[in-house]
Amino acid sequence: MLKQTLSFIYLITITFFACSPSEENKENLPPPNILWIVSEDNSPLLGCYGDTFATTPVLDKLATEGVLYENAFATAPVCAPSRSTLITGVYPPSMGTEHMRSYYPIPSAFKFYPFYLKEAGYYCTNNSKKDYNTAKDQESAWDESSNKATYKNRKEGQPFFAIFNLGVSHESSVHKSIPNEELRHDPATVPIPPYHPRTPEMEHDWAQYYDKVEDMDTQVGEILAELEKEGLAENTIVFYYSDHGGVLGRSKRFLYESGLHIPLIIRFPEKYKHLASGAANSRTDQIVTFLDFAPTLLSLAGITIPDHMQGQAFLGDQKKPERKYSHSFRGRMDEVYDMGRSVRNKKYRYTRNYMPHRIYGQYLEYLWKAPSMPSWENAYKNGELNEIQSAFWETKPAEELYDCEADPHNVNNLANDPAFKAVLDEMRQANKEWILNNKDIGFLPEAEIINRSENSTPYELVHQKDFPLEEIVNAAEIATMKDPSQLDKIKEMLSHPENGVRYWGVTGCIILGDDAASAKDLLLQTLNDASENVAIASAEALYNLGEKDKAVQKLVEAVSYDNVMARVHALNILKIIGEDARPALPAAKRLLAAADSKDKRYDLRASKFLVEQLEGEKISGFSD
C-alpha cells in the first residue's frame, strides 16, 4: 500500500512539472499574444454569470476554460469616458475627460498604451471602435485601426495585441423593434428588474436585447474559431469583457450595478497559465476596474508600467496587492448635465450625488430612442408605477448605499439606516480620499474648465500647486447634502474668491429651494458674476425663489454665450422651467439656423429639444 501511495505521489509530481513551465522555461517563453474581445453596452447577462434566460454557449464555454471575474467594473457607465480610461490607464476626472465626448487635450506624456507595446515589438491592431474622448487621437498608436484590422498582417513570429469590438449589443440595437414573431427570446417570460414596469414595450426591448447578446456570443465564437484555425490559441491570452453595463434605462449612463458591473473572462493557454489568477474553470471575487486594464496588459507583456498610470496590474510580474475599492463617475451625458461619484467594495456600492436636485430620468434624446423609455415615462405620468419604479422620475438623495449581494438591482437605499452607519462612513471617506488624491477636476463645471485651461490641459490645471481643489470639493460636499442647517456656510461661499466655490454655493441654494430665501440678495449679485456657470446657476436659484423675469433674462442671454458648454448649462435649465422658457426661443432657433443639421454639437441637441418642447413640432437632424 505504501509503495502504491509513493508511486501515485511520484506520478502527480512528474505530471505537475511536465505541465508547468520551470522558472528557467518561464524566462525563456516568448511574449504572449493578447487578444481583447470587447462587447458593447452589456451587463453580465450571461449563462456563466447565472443568467438562466441568456443564450450564451460560447462565453459559457470560455468561462470553463478561463477565470471568471465576479467583481469587474467600468469606471464610467458610458462608452467614451470608459474608453478614455482604458486607453490611458488614467482616471478621466483627473484629465477632464469625464464628460461624454468632451475631447479635451491630455498631457503629451500620456501615450496610449499600444505605443508601449509597439516599442516592445508587438503588432497592435484595433477593429475598430476608438472613442477615446480626447482631443488628439494619437493615430500612430496602432499598426492597424479599421474594420479590416487583423493580427494576420504582422511579421512572421511577431507577437500581437489585437482588439475586436463587437457592436451588435450596442444600445442602438433596440432602437428599431423586431417583430415579436421574429424574436428568439419570449417577451412574456423575459426577466425584468424590479425598477422597470412590464409595459409591452419594456418586455419587447428586454427580449430583443437578449437576442442581441446571443448574437454577440456567436460573434465571439467566430473570433475564437479563427484564432484556433490560425494555430495561435496556444500562444494567446484571451480577454472578453464589455465596455460598460447596459443597455435599457437606468443601466447605461447610471451609477448602479446595471451600468458599471461588467463581465470579464480571461483564458490563459497552458504555457502561460503561471500568469493567471486562478486555474481554468475558476472564479475570483477580486475587484478589478478599467483603470487596471492598461497596467495589467503591460505587465503581462513584460513592459514597465509608466508612472503616470493610476491603475495597478492585477496579473503578470508587476501584479499589485488586490485593491479594496473600485471607483466610478458620472458627468455630462450628451446634452444633459448630472454629476456623481461611486465606490464599490466586494459587498456594498456607495454613490454620492452632487446634483441631487435633478431627477435621474432627465430627457436625453438618444436614450429615448428605445421604445421602452417613453413607455416607462408615460406609465409614471399616468400613476401606474409602484414606489421602486417611480424613483427614476424623481429627484435623487445626496447619498445612496446598497448591499449588492442582497440587493443586486440597487433598489433598497441603506444610506439613512443607522445599522449601516459604519459602512456609510467608510465608503464616504473612501470617496473623498480618492477625489482628492487623484485630483478630480470634475468639481469645476465644464465651461469653467474650458476657460481656465486655455494654455494648459485640464490635468495640468488641477495639478498646479495653487489650485484650490480641496476648498472646491469641501464646498461641494457641504452644498449638496440638502441640509438647511448649512445655509450660513453656503451663503459664505457666494462671496468666495474662487469661482468653483461660488458655483457650489449657488448650487446649494438651488438644492435648498425656499429654505435659501435669505440668500436672495447675494444671489442677485452673483447673477452678474464673471463666471458664466455661477451666473447661470444663480438664475436657476433665483427662478426658484420667485425672481422669474430676471432669471429668464439671464438664461436667454446665456444661450448666446461664446462658451458652448455654458450654453448647454443654460439650455438644461430652460428645458426644466418649461413654458416660462419661451423668451429663449429666438436664441435657440438662431443656434439651429446657423448650424448644419448633421452637426451633433450638444448645444444644438439641447436647443432642438427646447424648440420642440415649446412648439410641439419635431425637428430633424442635430443628433446621432
What mean pLDDT do residues 279-304 have?
A: 98
DSSP 355-404: -TTSBTT---TTGGGSTHHHHHHHHHHTT---HHHHGGGSBPPSEEEEET
How deeply is 174 buried, as exposed, middle or buried, from its count of CB atoms within 10 A (0-12, 13-18, 19+)? buried
Q: How many residues does the chain have?
A: 624
Amino acid at 340: G
Amino acid at 245: G
* pLDDT at position 7: 39
Cα 282 from chain centroid? Answer: 27
The Cα–Cα gap between 551 and 539 comes to 4
pLDDT at 55 over 60: yes
Backbone angles phi, psi at 587, to 5 degrees: -65, -40
The three grid cell numbers given for residue 272, joined into one nine-digit string: 502561460
CA separation (Å) from 160 to 34, 116, 143?
6, 13, 10
How deeply is 528 buried, as exposed, middle or buried, from its count of CB atoms within 10 A (0-12, 13-18, 19+)? exposed
Quick: pLDDT tens for 57-86. Answer: 999 999 999 999 999 999 999 999 999 999
The Cα–Cα gap between 388 and 411 comes to 7
pLDDT at 11 over 70: no
Using CA atoms of 280, 286, 289, 295 in order, give the dihedral in degrees to the nearest 10: -70
The three grid cell numbers given for residue 580, joined into one nine-digit string: 416660462
The Cα–Cα gap between 87 and 84 comes to 6
Residue 351: strand pairing partners: 342, 400
Q: Are strands 33-39 and 160-166 parallel, antiparallel or unpaired?
A: parallel
- Quote the percentage of the chain above a pLDDT of 70: 96
* pLDDT at position 189: 98
pLDDT at 502 over 90: yes
Quick: pLDDT tens for 504-532. Answer: 999 999 999 999 999 999 999 999 999 99
Residue 86: closest CA among 227, 323, 387, 288: 288
The three grid cell numbers given for residue 312, joined into one nine-digit string: 495597478
CA separation (Å) from 497 to 23, 148, 323, 392, 489?
61, 54, 38, 37, 15
* pLDDT at position 85: 98
Amino acid at 420: F
3-state per-residue secondary structure call for 452-479:
HCCCCCHHHHHCCCCCCHHHHHHHHHHH
Quick check: 570 and 536 in contact, CB under 8 A? Answer: yes
Q: How many CB atoms lie within 10 A of CB 386?
A: 10
DSSP 149: -
DSSP 302-347: T-PPPTT--S--SSSTTPPPPPS-EEEEE--BTTB---EEEEE-SS
79 as an active site residue: the answer is yes
Residue 302: closest CA among 150, 121, 464: 121
The Cα–Cα gap between 311 and 296 comes to 9
Quick: pLDDT tens for 569-622. Answer: 999 999 999 999 999 999 999 999 999 999 999 999 999 999 999 999 999 999
Indicate the SS3 state at residue 39: strand
Quick: pLDDT tens for 203-257. Answer: 999 999 999 999 999 999 999 999 999 999 999 999 999 999 999 999 999 999 9
Q: How many CB atoms lie within 10 A of CB 254?
A: 25
* pLDDT at position 624: 78
What mean pLDDT do residues 441-460 have?
A: 97
Amino acid at 194: P
Quick check: 510 and 492 in contact, CB under 8 A? Answer: no
CATH class of 30-43+50-323: alpha beta
The Cα–Cα gap between 353 and 440 comes to 15
Confirm whether 30-43+50-323 and 439-474+486-615 share one CATH topology: no
Quick: pLDDT tens for 112-165. Answer: 999 999 999 999 999 999 999 999 999 999 999 999 999 999 999 999 999 999
**Which residue in the list 48, 79, 124, 509 is annotated as catalytic?**
79
The Cα–Cα gap between 263 and 251 comes to 14
* pLDDT at position 623: 85
The three grid cell numbers given for residue 500, joined into one nine-digit string: 468653483
**Angle, vertex CA 328, rays to CA 325 and CA 332, nearest 5:** 170
The Cα–Cα gap between 442 and 139 comes to 27
Show me where the domains of the chain are located.
Answer: 30-43+50-323, 439-474+486-615
Quick check: 266 and 276 in contact, CB under 8 A? Answer: yes
Residue 96: closest CA among 437, 439, 338: 439
pLDDT at 2 over 90: no
The three grid cell numbers given for residue 450, joined into one nine-digit string: 474650458
Radius of gyration of the chain (CA): 26
- Where residue 15 falls among pLDDT bands split at 50, 70, 90? very low
Quick: pLDDT tens for 544-565. Answer: 999 999 999 999 999 999 999 9
The Cα–Cα gap between 571 and 361 comes to 17
* pLDDT at position 9: 35
238: CB partners within 8 A, 6+ apart: 35, 37, 62, 66, 224, 227, 266, 267
Domain 439-474+486-615 indexed as CATH 3.30.300: no
* pLDDT at position 16: 37
Residue corresponding to grid cell 487623484 = 438
The Cα–Cα gap between 137 and 130 comes to 9
The three grid cell numbers given for residue 424, joined into one nine-digit string: 456609510
- Where residue 23 falls among pLDDT bands split at 50, 70, 90? low
The Cα–Cα gap between 9 and 15 comes to 10
What mean pLDDT do residues 89-117 have?
A: 97
pLDDT at 175 over 90: yes
Quick check: 93 and 469 in contact, CB under 8 A? Answer: no
The Cα–Cα gap between 83 and 107 comes to 17
Residue 82: closest CA among 296, 330, 257: 330
